[in-house]
Structure formats: C-alpha cells, structure tokens
Amino acid sequence: EVEPAMLGYKDDKLVNLYQQAFSRLEAVPGVESVTFSRNALLSWSANTSSVFLPHVVGPDGKPVDSDAKVHTVRENFLATMEIPLLMGRDLTEQDDVRAPRIAVVNQAFAKAHFANESPIGKCFSFEPEKPCEIEIVGMARDAKYTSQRAEIRPTVYQSWRQQLQRVNAVVFEVRT
C-alpha cells in the first residue's frame, strides 16, 4: 500500500508517480502484470456509494437510491485479477478526466438495475441531481469484494484516471 498524498502528490504529479511505479514493477523479472486498486480485494475494506438511475423515483417524485460497492482501479485490474469481462469493453488509459465518465459494472449490478436487459449504454450517477452522469461500457463477472463469505453486492469499477481524488492511497497488486 502506498499513500503519496501525504507527500503532496496530486493531479499530474500523482499520475506520473503511479506510471513510474507501474513501469518499475513491471520490469521486475517474473512479473506478468501490475495493477492497483483503492481497496484490496478480500481485505474487509470497501467503498460504498448511493447509486441513482434516471427515471427511478419514489412516490414523492424524489430520486430513489440503492447502494453499490465502488472499486477505483487501474485499467488492467480485471485482467490482472482474472475477473472475466462478459460484455462490452474494459477500462482504458484514454478514460481519463478529459473523457466522458464511464464504468464497468458486475453481474449483480446489472441484475439489480436492468433485470434481463444489457447494461451496456445505460447510465447512472452517484449524485441525485445528475442521474445519467456515468455510462456503463462493460459488464464483468461477479467476484467477491470484501470477504470470501460475504454476499456478492452490486459493484462498479471506475478508472483511477477519472477519480484522482480517490487514489491518494492505493494497494498495488502484482501477478507473477
């Protein structure tokens, strides 16, 4: 785990630091893949957020929310952790702060919010005032998040490049 924000790293300086770390770790003999996430899988640690979908309102006309785990990750996280992408596309380096906001969701998220429809192209938000801020571009197979015994919850995977404020401390995962 690293916490460069404590030394004042942010924005482009933070991105450059992580890029250098990726390059150095990937150059180590025997390393197949390097990724990172805000929270390590199966660590009893998780970020949870309210999710709002367009046109989902209660009897009072106010947006109705539901909870989802939010996993801020490097673009190769799913491949490195061997979580299969079932449809759509994965996160890419181009999914940065200048690009439209996107996410990959898991099967539990798709089932909870879109029943038997494909989630690809649908949208949601973490803010009730902007119910269609984030477009779903991919769906990953369900995976355990906080513990092996916990129920699989709806999960959103977001690009770290679009959420720099969330990666002031991260956990590196290295596949050898």
Q: CA angle 7-101-8, nearest 5°?
A: 5
Q: What is the pLDDT of residues 39-53, one digit of tens each?
A: 877 666 677 788 898
Question: Tokens representing 172?
Answer: 């590196």
Better-predicted residue by pLDDT, 94 or 169: 94
pLDDT at 58 over 80: no
Residues near 98 by beta carbon (within 8 Å), at least 6 away in sequence: none
User: Is 15 exposed, middle or buried (CB count within 10 Å of its CB: 0-12, 13-18, 19+)?
Assistant: middle
Task: Compute the mean pLDDT over every residue in the chain, rounded to the nearest whole number.
Answer: 89
With a pLDDT cut of 70, the percent of the chain lying above it is 97
> What does the pLDDT average to over 59-67?
77
> What does the pLDDT average to over 161-174?
85
DSSP designation for 2: B
Better-predicted residue by pLDDT, 122 or 58: 122
CA pair distance 154, 151, nearest whole angstrom: 10
pLDDT at 169 over 80: no
